Amino acid sequence: MSAHDLLAGAGILAGMAGVVIVVLPGLLIIVASVVLWALIEQSAAGWVAMGLAISLGVAITILKYLHPGRKLREIGIPTSRLLIALGVGIAGFFLIPVVGAFLGFAVAVYLLERVRVGPRQARTATKATLWAIALSIGIELGGGFLIAAVWLAAAIWG
C-alpha cells in the first residue's frame, strides 16, 4: 500500500466517525477521500471507484432525507417543530459537548409536541422522531461502508 492509499483510508475512517458523531459531514468526507485517491491513483479502477463513490454519495444523501422525512410527515410532525428542535440541539452541543446535541433535540421535540398534542402523543412523536434520525444515520453509515468497500476493492485490485 502506498501513502495515498493510507491517507484515503484515514479519510474514510474520519468520515465514518463523522457519520456517527454527527459533527463532521461524514459522507462528504468519505466521498472526497475516494475522489482525491482516484485523482492521485490515475487508474481505471480509480476512475470507476470515483464514479461509484459520487453516484452512491448522491443516492444515499437523497435517501437519508427522503425516507425518514416521509415517515415523520406520515406521523404528522410539523417541519417547523423539527427546525426549532434542531436549533436547540445545536445550542445543546455547545452547552454539553457531544451528548448535548442529542439531549437538546430530543427534549425540544418532546416539549414542542407536548404543547401541540399533549403528553401521551408527545412521547410517541418523540420516539418516532428519534427513530427517524437513527434511520437516517444508519442509511448514511451503511452507505459509507458501501463506498469504503468500493474503494477497498479498487485499491486492492486496481
C-alpha span between 1 and 145 (Å, rounded)? 20
- The pTM assigned to this predicted structure is 0.83
- pLDDT at residue 37 above 80? yes
Give the count of domains, the chain: 1
Q: In this structure, which amino acid lies at residue 111?
A: L
The reported pLDDT for the residue numbered 70 is 82
Structure-block grid coordinates of residue 8:
484515503
- At 43, is the secondary structure helix, strand, or coil? coil
Residue 93 contacts residue 101 (beta carbons within 8 Å): yes
Mind listing the pLDDT tens digit for each residue in 47-92? 999 999 999 999 999 998 888 888 888 888 888 888 899 899 889 9
Give the residue carrying C-alpha cell 461524514: 26
What DSSP state is assigned to residue 97?
Answer: T
Domain boundaries, position 47: 3-157
